[in-house]
Amino acid sequence: MVENFKQALKEVFLPNKEENEEKQKVTVEEKVKVKAAEEKQEAAAVKKESKEPKESTPKTAAPQTAAPQEAGKKRQESKESKETINMIAKNIAKSEQTTNIITKDTKIVGTITTDSKLIIEGEIEGGIDSKNIAIVSGNVRGDISCESAEIDSAQIEGNINVSDKLQIKSDSNIKGDLAGGDIEVSGCINGNIDAAKSVKLFSNAVVIGNITSASISIETGAVLQGNVSIKKEGA
């Protein structure tokens, strides 16, 4: 009797136990699958965020005070450009001017007045008045007045007055006073020198007379017999 009762209990409760264990097993597997799916979704979301470009930091607008500075800089550049253009135009105009040449076999008695470039290779007995450059390699007995002058292997008896630069090159002999902005001497001068800016005596220069200038440079070998006075530039 007792054995029959035990057998009945096994038939009733044992299937229910196996069924509950099976259900629990299924529930655990589902939870594992759900958890794995959630982790996969999170990983995909993180990967997507890392690939998306980051928003660039907006550039700070330039301060408004830069505008007046730029405008002033442009005005300055425009002014310099105009000055350069004017200088080039002036040089072109000078280069296009006629050049007058006094050849070696030519002798002129009287004053020469010209606005053009003047080259003197011959002999002049009289003054020279030019608003341009004068290049002298001949003989002149008279005063020379011009914008700038280049005296090369010339013999001159008279004063030379230029507004810009005066060059006395080798083998030149001048009996007279020199006046100009910048004066360079390589020849022989018997007279006074007055320069608004500078005087330079090269090694083969011989000067018998006084020098007045804002600055003076004397190379070794140059001869100077006279006094030197330094003045304020432009005075």
Q: Does some domain include residue 73?
A: no
Same domain, 114 and 201: yes
73-112 residue pLDDT tens: 667 767 667 777 766 666 655 555 688 899 999 999 999 9
**Whole-model pTM over 0.75:** no
Same domain, 112 and 224: yes
Same domain, 122 and 181: yes
Mean pLDDT, to the nearest integer, of 14-29?
54
Residues in the chain, overall count: 235
Total tally of structural domains belonging to the chain: 2
What is the average pLDDT score of the chain? 80
Could you say which DSSP state residue 62 is in? P
For residue 99, the model assigns a pLDDT of 87
Helical (H) or strand (E) element with 30: helix 2-51
232 pLDDT tier (thresholds 50, 70, 90): confident
The torsion of the CA quartet 194, 198, 204, 210, rounded to 10 degrees, works out to 30
CB atoms within 10 A of CB 193: 27
Same domain, 4 and 114: no
Same domain, 142 and 197: yes
Same domain, 47 and 107: no
For residue 90, the model assigns a pLDDT of 62
Q: Does some domain include residue 68?
A: no
- What's the first-to-final CA gap in the chain, in angstroms? 151
Of 14, 35, 52, the one marking the end of a domain is 52
Pairing mode, strands 206-208 and 178-185: unpaired
Question: Measured on CA atoms in the order 152, 168, 159, 97, is the torsion positive or negative?
Answer: positive
CB atoms within 10 A of CB 21: 10
102-148 residue pLDDT tens: 999 999 999 999 998 999 999 999 999 999 999 999 999 999 999 99
Helical (H) or strand (E) element with 107: strand 107-109
Mean pLDDT, to the nearest integer, of 10-38?
58
Domain range for 27 is: 1-52
212 pLDDT tier (thresholds 50, 70, 90): very high
Same domain, 35 and 132: no
